[in-house]
A and B are shown apart, each in its own frame.
Chain A
Amino acid sequence: MPLLEVTGLRKSYGGHVAVDGVDFHIGEAETYGLLGPNGAGKTTAISMIVGILDRDAGEVVVDGQPLDVTSVKAKALIGYVPQELALYRDLTARENLRFFARLYGLGGGGLKARIEEILGIIGLTDRADEKVEQYSGGMARRLNIGIGLMNRPKLLILDEPTVGVDPQSRNSILESVQRLAGEGMAVLYTTHYMEEAERLCDRVGIIDQGRLRAEGTRRELVGLVGETDRVTMRAEGDLARAVEDLEKLPDVRRAESGDSQIELLVPDARTHLPRILETVAAAGAAVRTVEVREPDLETVFLHLTGKALRD
């Protein structure tokens, strides 16, 4: 039996469908990533899964217990880290941890020990009694995650926990998640960073415009694209025309231009590169740099949706 089972999840705001029939499941000790661009519906889906938002349709079952906004018992199994910082800025880290832990029924000596343990994990032991308003962005992010760990959840749900974080804090966050997953915690992790999904997740669901477009291990997803490489060129000139011409080349799957760069998918890029460069030059654009990448999740996303993961 999976630890989390989500079926037919749906939510619309007015006429706009934010989540449009999402199904997936997470096994014990599995790390599952929801990878999608801004506005894909990740936060909306997560909000329904943790029971803070009423859904229009669908089911959420955690460890055999159905969960909706009124559930109490099932919610105790989940640790939730919201995308936006959710902290009392006028309280200290210790006070924040204590308050939320109490809401999960922790108390007494166990609570004290757990607070120290979490402070250690998030590296805030030295500054635990300072008000959050004096924290740097990275420290606040770490506390935001620490609160979600207080109740030793069976399922940890993190909604884009690294957004707006410096590379160092980001790395330490990723390491913590990896360690927790290694200790047997199931994790649901949303992100629009392909590298994070690749590094952390056993399986990834690719979400766009409220729908899961594909799902599987990294290998399975990359298999969808075949042996396609991704070519990124920094260029100047008439990029639109260059793209138009590139798309006429027999093996080029998809080409896109944006912000002085051209991106295209092509099998076995190395053999096709000379013709590609010729075509671009003929269209009146000057190529500055070229980068060829083996297929990755970004390629998969481009392949599935025709869009880049980030703009």
Chain B
Amino acid sequence: MRASITILAKDLRQRARDSTLLVFGVVLPLGLAFMFNVMLGGGEQRRLDATYAVADGDRGVAARQFVEQALRPLEASGDATLRTAADAEEARRLVERKTVDAAFVIPEGFSAALERGAATRLQVIGGVDSAVAVQVAREIAQSYATERRAVQLAVAVATAGGGTVPDRELAERAAAAPVPVGVAQDEVSQRKQLDTTTYYAAGMAMFFLFFVTMMSVAGIFDERRQGTLARLLAAPVSRRAVLLGKSLGGVLVGVLSMAVLVVVSTLALGADWGHPLGVAALAVAAVLAATGITAAVATFARTAEQASNRLSVIAMTLGLFGGALFPVAQLEGLSSVSMLTPHRWFLEGLGDLAGGSLQVVVVPVAVLLGFAVAGGALALFRLGRMLNS
């Protein structure tokens, strides 16, 4: 470990004098996140210009209320156009054909269920290409569901405060708002979504992470070119310690770059990453996963050029299929492929974190660490051959 730290310190000293890492670790991801942010919205002033379909299978009081109170104002302000769909089937077709950006499906018995106090669901079907419009639709449904809960809370307070509310009225209000109304989003779209700004900041951070960690592990090839690898191997230091030392540089720089991106995108772009602890756990796990994968790939190469070519291709492919460049997880078919990429788990972890409690990151973090361990083990296994070639 002492030797690994010595190698780490040396690498950092050399890195500090070279701006490549700054470019790949901070400038490019931030710059692109900023560009996407401007191009794809996230700016407050612009009109949304979305088209939504409503399939009202209920036609009850609550359903009408939802349309009138939650959706009409959007139409009135010119942000959205509403149209009706006969049923859930048609709504889905409209979304799939991109006739509308998203659809709200109100199931039969919606109002009755609310009246009874039974759970019911409001479904949002989102289109793949309409990240922002889908996001807005989701938030509308979410806030409606939250509002119903709030009414119930108010009733409860009124009761505790000495029964100032007439029994009949209390009963009515309680009946009108028992919830929970679950917000169910369809498979066609992501279960939970990050807002656009955060999504692109996170996607870019993860995408470029592979280029940052690549430089550290592939640094073994630079050591060879300079002849210094011979000295590292002749020193009383195990080969694992050498690999670890070279990898640590990537981990540290990766974590730093992530931290800078989180802070700057929050302050400058208004990104909302979620609970800091969850974000930290996901970020560190993602850095370890990227380091493990790049280390493994590097040990199969023979030269620095070969390593960086292959790593670039792999970084691009993983980024593309993992949804770091656009929300690929919404595409059927690709969704399962994306599970093979750390990018997907990182972004999904952040999405879950945005929509839930801190514990939801446990699974994505565990999967990311799995990538790290598998990559590291493969790298160790290949190390002997790499150093001898």
Which A residues are closer than 8 A to B by beta carbons? 47, 50-54, 69-73, 75-76, 78, 80, 82, 84-91, 95, 99-100, 102-105, 147
Does the CB pair B238–A103 fall under 8 Å? no
Does the CB pair A50–B234 fall under 8 Å? yes
- Interface members, chain B 233-287 (any A CB < 8 Å): 233-239
Q: Which of A76, A82, A86 has the most CB of B within 10 A?
A: A86
Does the CB pair B227–A91 fall under 8 Å? no
Q: B18 to chain A: which residues have CB within 8 Å?
A: 90
Answer yes or no: B97 CB below 8 A from chain A CBs.
Answer: no
Does the CB pair B14–A75 fall under 8 Å? no
Q: A84 to chain B: which residues have CB within 8 Å?
A: 227, 230
Q: Which of A73, A80, A99, A105 contacts B234 (CB 8 A)?
A: A80
The residue on B at minimum CB distance from A72 is: B236
Q: Which of A86, A99, A104, A147 contacts B236 (CB 8 A)?
A: A104
Does the CB pair A102–B6 fall under 8 Å? yes
Does the CB pair A91–B226 fall under 8 Å? no
Does the CB pair A75–B226 fall under 8 Å? no
Interface size class of B (residues with CB under 8 A): 20 to 34
The residue on A at minimum CB distance from B235 is: A103
Answer yes or no: B17 CB below 8 A from chain A CBs.
Answer: yes
Q: A95 to chain B: which residues have CB within 8 Å?
A: 10, 13
Which B residues are closer than 8 A to A by beta carbons? 2-3, 6-7, 10, 13-14, 17-18, 226-228, 230-239, 384, 388
Count CB-based A-B contacts (< 8 Å).
Answer: 75
The residue on A at minimum CB distance from B237 is: A103
Secondary structure of the B contact surface, majority rule:
helix
Does the CB pair B235–A73 fall under 8 Å? no
Does the CB pair A88–B228 fall under 8 Å? yes
Does the CB pair B233–A69 fall under 8 Å? yes
Does the CB pair A70–B235 fall under 8 Å? no
With A54-B388, A91-B13 already in contact, the answer to whether A103 and B227 are too (CB < 8 A) is no
Q: B238 to chain A: which residues have CB within 8 Å?
A: 70, 72
The residue on B at minimum CB distance from A71 is: B236
The residue on A at minimum CB distance from B228 is: A86
Q: Which of A72, A76, A80, A91 contacts B231 (CB 8 A)?
A: A80
Distance to closest chain B CB from A179 (angstroms): 23
21 examples of A-B residue contacts, CB within 8 angstroms = A47-B230, A50-B234, A52-B230, A53-B388, A72-B238, A75-B235, A82-B234, A84-B230, A87-B226, A88-B10, A88-B14, A88-B226, A90-B17, A90-B18, A91-B10, A91-B13, A95-B10, A102-B3, A103-B6, A103-B232, A104-B235
CA–CA, A69 to B17, complex, Å?
Answer: 33
With A100-B235, A103-B235 already in contact, the answer to whether A82 and B230 are too (CB < 8 A) is yes
CA–CA, A147 to B227, complex, Å?
Answer: 13
Q: B17 to chain A: which residues have CB within 8 Å?
A: 90
The residue on B at minimum CB distance from A159 is: B230
Does the CB pair B6–A99 fall under 8 Å? yes
Distance to closest chain B CB from A37 (angstroms): 22
Q: A105 to chain B: which residues have CB within 8 Å?
A: 2, 236
